Amino acid sequence: MQLAEIRWGALICLAISIGLPCSTSACPTELFLRSLNIAVSVRRVVPGQSRVPKIIGVGIRPGRIETRVEDIALQMGIGREELSRILERTGTRVLPRMAPSESPEELAADAAMMALNNANWKIKDIHGMFFSSSSPSRHYIVPGPARETASLIGLRNGNIITAGQGCGGGMDAFYLAYLQVLRDIQQGKIRTYLVISGDHASSKLDPTDKNTAFLLGDGFGAVIITSADVPNCYTIDDMASRTIYDYKYALIITKDSADARSFFYMTGPAVVKLVSLVGPAIPELFGLDRLPLDDVMIPHQPSLVGLQHLQKRTRIRVYSVIERWGNLVGASPFFALHDWVEHEVNDHPNKNLWLVAFGAEGRLTAGRLRPHGNIQKLVGKESPHRLH
């Protein structure tokens, strides 16, 4: 991107130096160079428009039932000492769970509407949706909750893309939206997209499995990404993604042949192994030896132990919301971003953030965010409860 800017600047200087008129829509110098088959790299930008994708709104919608870990322990017949050892690993205190009357598409729609309201954006101005979930909708496996969500929020135009699943799925969808906005910027278009991710994880919990019963919650998060020029936003300065092959699956959904039910299962050592690979891989994605020590990481929330290992490996502050929300699978980074803006931005208004996710698919995706203007406006109008 910097190379494109340098080349474009050189063209403008050349045009001025030889007295030719030049604009962002047509440049005689550029046309002359192209007539000689000289490669020209130009990123077209509407005058006054920022040259990077931006986050302008965040919304979250947890399940309505707040489940205390002490109540889960009581149901499983677990005593205080054993529960204390479990919570040292998970770090959880309260887990949001969906009520029987709730559905994934309803939570996703609420998160989307909250993000729109916080951004002061209208659904008619949304040009598409990028969606990630491992959960079916209330009535269908296919089509999944993306189409149902679009119907609930009144999205009638633009593409709907389902991308990724599991803990890294939300950032996979976010990455695709980022690439789409980059393309829009290059074409001089102003476009805005919804990114939504989440799961009904509790529907896949084995009630006898201590590794997941105290860790996973239900919820959906949404962010709005745009190429429009806005005063209050996080610019997405760069993003990168890769697949990590050198680990055994940390979280799987398997099928019990006895009753044809599927369950989440997690292996703690595999989680630690994955985090040990992710830590050094994040700066490598961006050609860095290490992440800037003054930055803050807003990651997927695997567990307290996982977050501690991630901080040890990267040596920067890793922001945790595991105690409040638990592991919300693909929605975790969006919940963490929401809470950072709501609770931390006042004290750290100029902090650059690394939004990071990784999961059982072996996907690692990360992006660097830079604050502009009044960041609290990204979450300022709506609280994380049902909106309609």
pLDDT digits (tens, 9 = 90+) for 365-376: 999 999 999 999
| Residue 71 shares a structural domain with residue 190 | yes
88-92, 166-170, 242-246, 329-333, range with the lowest pLDDT: 242-246
Residue 353 in domain: yes
Q: Are strands 128-132 and 159-162 parallel, antiparallel or unpaired?
A: parallel
Q: Note the pLDDT of residue 37.
A: 41
Do the beta carbons of residue 108 and residue 222 sit within 8 Å? Answer: yes
User: Is residue 274 over pLDDT 90?
Assistant: no
H or E element that contains 222? strand 219-226
pLDDT digits (tens, 9 = 90+) for 167-211: 999 999 999 999 999 999 999 999 999 999 999 998 888 878 887
Token look-up 């996982």 returns: 306
| Residue 287 shares a structural domain with residue 274 | yes
For residue 241, give Cα distances in angstroms to 45, 54, 59, 362: 25, 18, 24, 11
Residue 293 in domain: yes
Give me the chain's average pLDDT, please: 83
Q: How far is CA 64 from the centre of its chain?
A: 22
Residue 129 in domain: yes
| Residue 58 shares a structural domain with residue 153 | yes
User: Is residue 220 over pLDDT 90?
Assistant: yes
Q: Which amino acid is at 196?
A: I
| Residue 164 shares a structural domain with residue 275 | no
Q: What's 262's domain CATH number?
A: 3.40.47.10
User: Is residue 308 over pLDDT 50?
Assistant: yes
Is the omega angle on the peptide bond into residue 143 within 30 degrees of 0, that is, cis? Answer: yes
Q: Note the pLDDT of residue 277.
A: 87
For residue 223, give Cα distances in angstroms to 28, 174, 284: 40, 8, 26
pLDDT digits (tens, 9 = 90+) for 53-108: 999 999 999 999 999 999 999 999 999 999 999 999 999 999 999 999 999 999 99
| Residue 277 shares a structural domain with residue 137 | no
| Residue 201 shares a structural domain with residue 120 | yes
| Residue 185 shares a structural domain with residue 89 | yes
| Residue 18 shares a structural domain with residue 122 | no
Total domain count for the chain? 3
| Residue 242 shares a structural domain with residue 223 | no
Token look-up 């990590």 returns: 244
Token look-up 């050349």 returns: 14
Model-wide pTM > 0.85: no
Residue 17 in domain: yes
Q: How far is CA 328 from the centre of its chain?
A: 12
In eight-state DSSP terms, residue 375 is: G
Residue 245 in domain: yes
Distance in angstroms (rounded) separating the CA atoms of residues 332 and 170: 8
For residue 316, the enclosing domain spans: 235-377
Token look-up 């609930």 returns: 152
| Residue 225 shares a structural domain with residue 117 | yes
User: Across the beta sheet with 192-199, what order do the strands follow?
Assistant: 159-162, 128-132, 192-199, 219-226, 54-62, 233-243, 363-372, 353-358, 296-299, 317-318
Residue 67 in domain: yes
H or E element that contains 86? helix 80-90
Residue 48 in domain: no
